[in-house]
Chain A
Amino acid sequence: MSSDVRFTDFKSDKQPTWCPGCGDFGTMNGMMKALAETGNDPDNTFIVAGIGCSGKIGTYMHSYALHGVHGRALPVGIGVKMANPDLEVMVSGGDGDGYSIGAGHFIHAVRRNVDMSYVVMDNRIYGLTKGQASPTSREDFETSTSPDGPNQPPVNPKALALASGATFIAQSFSSNAQRHAEIVQKAVEHDGFGFVNVYSPCVTFNDVDTYDYFRDAIVDLDETDHDPSDRDQAKDKILESEKEYMGVLYQDEDSVPFEEREGVEGSMAEIPDGAPEGAMDLVREFY
């Protein structure tokens, strides 16, 4: 790990195909800054992504990366981290990837509390399939597959996380570069599962949850007296449906990551050249 890593070292030479103005540019920049600020470099970093606009992130960043199947990025990240806790693992996804097809994995990743960060680009729409309702779309948001709106309330991912025993819940806004990078950095530094829901507007298909909307609506928790160590305060803020918050909503400072509790020590990549020493004892057990 070199000390002179800059965030641009995490950039690949591939030009993003995101639409001009897409929130995902800012989200990604913040991820790269957070990784560099926390002393990581591309060779010790593993980025996992699923499918969709968010899934392209591994291509635009430079690190070890895997772009998998829709909704399954979290289990891949867990496997990477369990097999080599020395790696910095960051998982990225979208609202469809994380809260629809991958909702089951999300809950279990939260409660498993493996030491990694999960950055979700939440634009409240399906972008890459050209504008259908997502699990975080508003109840009355008209789309090609919901002409009268989805007619069901949106998923509240932060509430899901809190109910599942999250040790770190934050929300961020891709357009506020400095704050966004700080928040992701806190998630990376957290000892456990650092979950950040990022408002990352879709400029092409979502004309409701726009930059202007978020700029007006968002309240920075740093400008309030919010105490992120207080779970009750976090719960109240998370359940306030009319408010959009930015910052760390909840953090359990005593969090101990799963792999540590499970006693995983170092990389599993190194194995002996033949059966391990003492392997015959495995056979003798069957006498």
Chain B
Amino acid sequence: MPEDLNWAIGGEAGDGIDSTGKIFAQALSRAGRHVFTSKDFASRIRGGYTAYKVRTSVDRVESVVDRLDILIALTERTIHENEDELHEDSVIIYDGERSTMQDVEVPGDATALEVPLKRLAEDAGGAIMLNVVALGAACEVTGFPIENLDESLEKRFGDKGEAIVENNKEAARKGQDYVQEEYGEFDYDMETTDEDYVLLNGDEAIGMGAIAAGCRFYAGYPITPATDVMEYMTGRVDQFGGKVVQAEDELSAINMALGAARAGARAMTATSGPGIDLMTETFGLVATSETPLVICDVMRSGPSTGMPTKQEQGDLNMTLYGGHGEIPRFVVAPTTVSECFWKTVEAFNLAEKYQTPVFLVSDLAMAVTEQTFSPETFDMDEVEIDRGKVVDENDIDAWLDEKGRFQAHFAAADGISPRAFPGTTDGAHMTTGLEHDELGRRTEDTDIRIEQVDKRQRKVETAREQEDFDYREFGDPDADTLVISWGSNEGALREGLTLLEEDGYDIRFLSVPYIFPRPDLTEEIEAAEDVIVVECNATGQFADVIEHDVLERVQRINKYNGVRFKADELATEIKQTLDTPAEATQ
């Protein structure tokens, strides 16, 4: 088995694919191996095809690849769905005794191991453990120490009592023993290390970042693939004095979060495309009432309900331009699972410093990817909180007008007014979605209108001066080829670059986590001969804004079949793009 191992379990939704995959991924992580997981799933609760894939290596892994080394197939379809990724050293484990699997044809030269998963599970105490039998068999095939699997089984089934845990360990051993007896020992040793890793996905990292940043109120409505954020916060934010409310719809969710933010809480809502559509109504109110709010969009394939369980980065324009009128805002898009944590913290600080909506844009690929990190990656001592210009009883006098009224929308030179949380003596003031004066009172006065519009827009200019809206850079800084990307493609591109380097291509890669305001890439683009923008959408929304910025046509690699980018695939695409004259692609 290769050191960089790709493993998968597939079957029907409802077969326990997710939890089995997670048990294995956690076992690997606890054994000090790096893990990168991905899921193939359909929008249904039972039936259909679903798979949980784990890539693991002692070295860091940042992407999925088109290669499968070991596959646990609970259904025949699982084999066919993954046929293209199997190779001559691949091993397939399946239960040949099951009626539906008796005539399975193994594609190509892959090795098929028939293991009576169900029968062995029954011997160990119950058919339900057949997946664990398969895990035990996989331990034998890959040389992964079964004792490490035991720990993961204890964690998973500990709450159900010792007997259940022991039965599961027994089931795993039966799988291992069967493979040994029937197929001889597989002479592999999978390397383990003493490293301590944590394993989490992008949604969990966002939820964790929110709580770390002091978010205390979350209102949302369940939607794939953002629901994990809500589920993560539920129960956990309570421990820190907060609350999650499941609203009746997205309109309510964003308005509840807005109310909580006005009351002084750090508040957030998260949704996916269709939910963002509904929330759009309130974007302008958030901005014009100058309420700090983090609005998270975990993108999936659109438009309309599109493909709910498939990857896409198609909402960028929505978050950049959504809402009528002109809305000062920030759009921040983390590029890795760990960045989901740190950019969430930053989103809260930006929201409160500038009193604006902050769109935190993630995507399905990041939401369902579990990845290993050293715990220090999320060093809570590094979390900084900046609540901006909050005034209290002691300093509110400076912000009262001659009649003692609080100027909540004072047209400050930097565009940022003072905030008084409700309950602050002498701070009572009106806030409205109507155009208003410095006191928050409605107005149609043309001069005041211009003053307030300018004031709100100045926040963005101030942020450009004060914040570091930078990019992350990889590859060869002097290369003639410049690849630019945003969001979750970073990992696949970094690995893809390594593959390209081996083939003699030098590439400079910029991963941009700030969509608005964003770094000025003019110099970088002018220094390059070829510029390629990679994104999971059909039209190249980020490429559009970059072209707009530098008035230069860039080449584009777009993917919108609902599947994330893979490293080897990207390497091939970039080669093809470079070998094709720029004019031909336009």
Contact = CB atoms under 8 A, between A and B. Distances in A.
Interface of A: 12-14, 42-46, 48, 56, 58-59, 62-69, 72, 74-84, 86-87, 104-105, 107-108, 259, 262-269, 271-276, 278-280, 282-284, 286-287
A82 B200 contact: no
B260 A268 contact: yes
A79 B238 contact: no
B429 interface: yes
Given A46-B422, A275-B212, A265 B255 contact: no
Contact of B198 (A86, A264, A266, A287): A287
A104 B264 CA distance: 26
A62 B260 contact: no
A80 B217 CA distance: 10
Given A83-B264, A275-B380, A279-B380, 7 more contacts: A43-B423, A64-B427, A68-B258, A72-B251, A283-B208, A283-B375, A286-B199
Chain B contact patch, size range: 35 or more
A13 B429 CA distance: 12
Name B's interface SS: mixed
B530 interface: no
28 contacts: A14-B441, A43-B424, A59-B441, A64-B422, A65-B430, A66-B289, A66-B432, A67-B431, A67-B434, A72-B282, A79-B219, A79-B257, A79-B267, A83-B263, A107-B248, A108-B252, A264-B243, A268-B241, A268-B242, A268-B264, A271-B214, A271-B387, A274-B384, A276-B211, A276-B240, A279-B211, A279-B212, A280-B380
B477 to A, nearest CB: 33
B259 A69 contact: no
B245 A78 contact: yes
Interface string B230-271: 000000101111110101110111011111111111110000
B266 to A, nearest CB: 6
Contacts of A269: 263-265, 421, 423
A282 B236 contact: yes
Nearest to B386: A273
Contacts of A68: 255, 258, 282, 285, 289, 433
B217 A284 contact: no
Contacts of B200: 286
B422 A44 contact: yes
Contacts of A76: 255-256, 258-259, 262
A88 to B, nearest CB: 10
Interface in B11-65: 29-30
A283 B380 contact: yes
B265 A108 contact: no
B422 A84 contact: yes
Interface string B176-210: 00000000000000000000111110001000100
Q: Which A-B residue pairs are the 7 nearest by beta carbons?
A: A79-B259, A269-B264, A271-B214, A286-B198, A83-B260, A75-B255, A79-B256
A75 B265 contact: no
B198 A87 contact: no
B432 A72 contact: no
Nearest to A46: B422
Contacts of A79: 217, 219, 255-263, 267
Most chain-A CB neighbours within 10 Å: which of B264, B281, B430? B430
A105 B20 CA distance: 40
B212 A83 contact: no
A251 to B, nearest CB: 24
A269 B259 CA distance: 12
A279 B383 contact: yes
Contacts of B240: 276
Contacts of B266: 268, 271
A286 B204 contact: yes
A66 B252 contact: no
A26 B268 CA distance: 38
A284 B375 CA distance: 7
Contacts of B383: 274-275, 279
A105 B249 CA distance: 9
B194 to A, nearest CB: 14
A78 B259 contact: yes
A231 B480 CA distance: 78
Contacts of B29: 287
Given A68-B255, A108-B248, A42 B428 contact: yes
Nearest to A66: B431
A238 to B, nearest CB: 23
Nearest to B232: A282
Interface in B451-487: none
Most chain-B CB neighbours within 10 Å: which of A68, A263, A264, A268? A268
A83 B423 CA distance: 12
A282 B285 contact: no
B198 A283 contact: yes
A105 B252 contact: yes
Contacts of A108: 247-248, 252
B198 A284 contact: yes
Contacts of A84: 263-265, 421-423
A81 B256 CA distance: 10
A259 B265 CA distance: 15
Contacts of B522: none
B378 interface: yes
A274 B242 CA distance: 16
A62 B219 contact: no
A43 B425 CA distance: 6
Interface string B279-299: 001100100010000000000
B166 interface: no
A51 B431 CA distance: 13
Given A76-B259, A287-B198, A276 B248 contact: no
A67 B255 CA distance: 12
B426 interface: yes
Contact of B259 (A63, A80, A104, A267): A80
A64 B265 contact: no
Contacts of A82: 217, 243, 245, 256, 259-260
Given A12-B430, A75-B247, A80 B262 contact: yes
Nearest to A107: B248
Nearest to B256: A79
Contacts of B118: none
